[in-house]
Chains A and B, each alone.
Chain A
Amino acid sequence: MTYLKPLFRHPRLPKNKLGYTLKEYEGGISTLCAGCGHDSISATIVQACFELAIEPHLVAKISGIGCSSKTPAYFLGNSHGFNSVHGRMPSVATGANMANKNMVYFGVSGDGDTASIGMGQFVHAIRRNLNMVYIVMNNGCYGLTKGQDSATADVGSASKSGHINPFQPVDLASLAVDLGATFVAQSFSGDKQQLVPLLKAAIQHQGLAFINVMSPCVTFNNNPGSTKSYDYVREHMHATGKTDFVPQEKSIQASYAEGTDTAVTLHDGSVMSLHKLAPDWDPEDRLSTVNAMQQARAKNEILTGLLYIHTGYGDLHQILNTSDTALNSLDEKSLCPGQKTLDTINAGLR
């Protein structure tokens, strides 16, 4: 258990425009190991939702199985959560999303949950551009079953027991770009400054926003020789740039420097401003993203920040042309065609 959460809050805690303090966005007490990267990510989600002033009860948190999938219980306590079955978060999220398009969907998964047992569902959620934030808390190992290598463990990476992983890793972010994901980002659980604006943009993005977060496992994969340890990730992180998220109402005032700065307008009018560090990389150009990622891989770098974004493509609801009223709130009047129609159907079958 990481810590005991005090009930007391400072009376002058800052409030967002809904009048909520951070407290309204917190969840239950974490049962993960002290220092677990996942807890930092949970805190980042709390921060991002607070800053965006999202109604907590209009968020649904859906997860699979594993350490990462436990975290929805530890953030946004006023939101419904669904801790489903191993590797199947995307399908449960798809159904939930179809039922009510007017909520924010957080899909929380891990590297075992997504890159192995759930690879199929990961791939197809991306193909459908489901409107959700898909977070992988990636630590390269199976924590709950005591540290076996996962499919994202790098070849040559050493486990706590000294075992060297002989298999090629699955690069989830590259795969997501390749599959046509409309928002792909990569970050580090220890870099809250980068992760908060990325999450905010991901929430506002209309479509599937995939964020692969390196989240070291302090207990089973934080040893020398591991490429998913805190030290290794810190040393090999290479940010694509500094990302800022400017909400819709402020976007008019925002100004951007010439040259290396670029601005991406999201579906709702919000703007992501990027101060690029790599001059020949354009986050709206898939080819340049793929290039940048391949180059980083060749240099053993972990490219972080927003990697790719495409705002012009409709989400699954737009593709299916569903009604603006959430499907779960339609009543008999809209749903049931009635006996008269049935009489016509019967007549056609005689």
Chain B
Amino acid sequence: MTISSSLPRPEARVNDFVARFANVNGTGSASANFLFAKAIFRMGIPVTPKNIFPSNIQGLPTWYEVRVSEKGYLGRREGIDLLVAVNAQSMKQDIASVREGGYLMYDSTKKLAPELIRDGIHYLGVPMMELANENFSNPRQRQLFKNIIYVGALAVLLQIEFSVLETLLKEQFAGKEKLIAPNLKALKLGMDYAREHFDYPLDFYLERRDLIGDKIMVDGNTACGLGAVYGGATVMAWYPITPSTSVAEAFEKYASKYRVDPITGKNQYAVVQAEDELAAMGMVIGANWNGARALTATSGPGVSLMNEFIGLAYFAEVPAVLIDVQRAGPSTGMPTRTQQSDITLAANASHGDSKHPLLFPTTPKECFEMTAECFDLADRLQTPIILMTDLDLGMNDHMSEPFQWEKDRKYDRGKVLNKEELDAMGRYGRYLDQEGDGIPYRTYPGTHPTKGAFTTRGTSRDEYAVYTEDSAAYKRNMDRLLVKWETAKSLVPKPQLYQETNQSDWGMLFFGTSAFSSEEARDLLAAREIPLDALRIKAFPFGQETEAFVRSHQLVFVIEQNRDGQMRSLLIQEMQHDPHRLVSILNYDGMPITADQIALKIADYLKQNNAVPHDLSETLI
């Protein structure tokens, strides 16, 4: 079967399509699919790949979705233009997911069953298995090169430059040069087949651009691990959990490379795989208490388990850094799907009155910078700082500005007294607020033979760390923690404002990975004469910029990836905003939110409230 001639050929589109690969996990498809995405990146064209994978090791369906966008939109987009279907299990659903007029590439070694033939799409049959079997003898190679064969066919149909693919393969197999030739052979098999059997290019294709600059492509978890190395973390305690495991792995990888004393060969870091998340957080608190910078990384279930310890660190005022790579909850939920649904859990983790600064990165560069910044904030504020990333950012490759580190940057270790300072002062009081910022002075164990020692505890105590159940002393302490909270507002990253002055009565507010699609939705709406001001939250507690933004708009759409509008709740909790002016725009199906969803929901809301004269939803997609 070749391209059906009965379908109209739409106008050619350059550098603007969504391709999806339907594979079986554990078949080596990931590296072939990454080769496809990376080649587009190397051609200077903005690209966003996303893994959609099961909680399983081998045998279940997995998808890899690649969005190409000349305009640089990095969010997920609805509508699959091209589907490479090599998984019989999901074939029926895959075929149904292709947009009208789109393409389906499949393995034509076996004839497609009649019920899989659908009107309205083009079928591109490539005998992948047959080609692999004819040209390779090793069974594992046959399976792996099936994947490279379809990349070859796509290279012709979409005009991926061969030299780019060749370079990528050579880089990938540097040190294993034997593997380069068979990979190139498989690539050419696919290319030749496509040239001989199909019209090419398709009605959407690639053209080299210079839109990437010095950007890098990396996943957020790697960036977090690297950020922890640069931020001076020496102790990493963790417990395996998807999707955060690769944070610990990245930390260990980079530390083992850059943190080994060249003379002694000894490690200037320690990684402990804990028995559970409780222990991981206990280790982080113990290490920070003793003057090291320590972190843990987990996901929602781990944060649930850590609640008691987070409360201890808050109340005893011990720094701690926690990276929460959020996934779809509650409970085990959908462990391999993304969400932003730990916001309220993290913000108020622990029993009793407690709240914690949260940082919300959107890009790998921010993952790197904010992880490092978490350590300065934790030391400065002597409290747990939680980096709120998610599966989409953490486990998918993202185009990002390159990592940067300021020359001679010093760590802010906060208020810590050394031996001389202790000698020079009168009675030391661990919980005395000397500067009125709510932050008292710490001492590390072992600093001074006779001064500055105290018992750190989760029970109430007075300013001198002496246990007390005196109500007034307890209340003074709780109130001082609120003063510290005010101080935190001036220290955490400020939000990103998308306009200098208000252009609209309506605003949109978003954070983390919702930003990509929110920005795109804003453009979509602006093109249809629905202008919206925008603000991206980077941290909790909110500062005056966020406060002013919400106050100065009649309506603010709060875009987030959870069911209950958790960020909206925090805005109301912390700033006493009129709840009616904060409208939730939500997606919580476990897939990254899309621009179309956001734009449609906002347009719908405005129409229903007679804020816009006509139904815009028709024209949106």
Contacts and interface: CB of A to CB of B under 8 A. Distances in A.
Interface stretch (B192-200, B231-239, B488-496, B507-515): B231-239
A345 to B, nearest CB: 7
Contacts of B237: 91, 94-95
Interface stretch (B61-69, B267-275, B355-363): B267-275
A99 interface: yes
Nearest to A94: B283
Interface stretch (A78-86, A221-229, A244-252): A78-86
A122 to B, nearest CB: 10
A113 to B, nearest CB: 13
B467 interface: yes
Interface stretch (A2-10, A56-64, A149-157, A271-279): A56-64
A170 interface: no
Contact of B286 (A58, A92, A337): A92
Contacts of B454: 80-81
A55 interface: yes
B267 A322 contact: yes
Give the most central of A56, A92, A332: most B CB within 10 Å: A92
Nearest to B445: A80
A2 B532 CA distance: 70
Contact of B404 (A91, A339, A341): A339
A350 interface: yes
B251 interface: no
B467 A100 contact: no
Give the most central of A60, A323, A346: most B CB within 10 Å: A323
A313 to B, nearest CB: 17
B287 interface: yes
Given A58-B446, A342-B404, A72 B455 contact: yes
Give the most central of B42, B218, B453: most A CB within 10 Å: B453
B309 A85 contact: yes
B407 interface: yes
B554 interface: no
B485 to A, nearest CB: 23
Contacts of A320: 267, 270-272
A323 B261 contact: yes
Interface string A306-335: 000000000011001111110111101011
A335 B234 contact: yes
A91 B453 contact: no
B283 A95 contact: yes
A324 B467 CA distance: 36
Contact of A91 (B232, B270, B282): B282
B290 interface: yes
Contacts of A81: 453-457
A338 interface: yes
Contacts of A79: 445, 453
Interface residues of A, number: 63
Contact of B289 (A82, A321, A334): A82
Contact of B450 (A57, A93, A97, A316): A57
A336 to B, nearest CB: 6
A96 B291 CA distance: 8
Contacts of A94: 237, 272, 279, 282-283, 286
B266 interface: yes
A329 B449 CA distance: 18
A126 to B, nearest CB: 11
Given A98-B270, A98-B292, A321-B266, A103 B232 contact: no
B292 A80 contact: no
Contacts of A349: 216-218, 402
Contacts of B254: 337
A120 B272 contact: no
B162 interface: no
A338 B259 CA distance: 12
A124 interface: yes
Given A100-B292, A103-B445, A323-B266, A83 B459 contact: yes
Contacts of A56: 449
Contacts of A61: 455
Contacts of A102: 446
A317 B264 CA distance: 14
A77 B453 contact: yes
A314 to B, nearest CB: 13
Contacts of A98: 234-235, 270, 272, 283, 286-287, 292, 294
Interface string B280-301: 1111111111111010000000
A83 B275 contact: no
B278 A99 contact: no
B224 interface: no
A132 to B, nearest CB: 11
A316 B446 CA distance: 21
A335 B282 contact: no
A342 B234 contact: no
A242 interface: no
Nearest to B406: A339
A77 B464 CA distance: 14
Given A80-B456, A85-B308, A336-B405, A92 B283 contact: yes
A88 interface: yes
Question: Which 5 residue pairs spanning A and B have beta carbons closest together?
Answer: A95-B286, A91-B282, A99-B292, A80-B445, A95-B283
29 contacts: A78-B453, A81-B454, A81-B457, A82-B456, A82-B457, A85-B308, A90-B282, A94-B282, A95-B282, A95-B283, A95-B285, A95-B288, A98-B286, A99-B234, A99-B294, A102-B446, A103-B446, A120-B279, A123-B275, A128-B272, A323-B266, A330-B234, A332-B232, A338-B405, A342-B405, A346-B214, A346-B216, A349-B217, A350-B214
Given A57-B448, A322-B268, 17 more contacts: A78-B450, A79-B445, A80-B443, A80-B446, A81-B453, A81-B455, A90-B279, A91-B278, A91-B279, A103-B290, A121-B275, A328-B234, A328-B291, A339-B404, A345-B226, A345-B403, A346-B402
Interface of B: 42, 214-218, 226, 229-230, 232, 234-235, 237, 254, 258-259, 261, 264-272, 274-276, 278-292, 294, 308-309, 312, 402-405, 407, 409-411, 443-450, 453-459, 467
Interface of A: 24, 55-58, 60-62, 72-73, 77-85, 88, 90-100, 102-103, 120-121, 123-124, 128, 316-317, 320-325, 327-330, 332, 334-339, 341-342, 345-346, 349-350
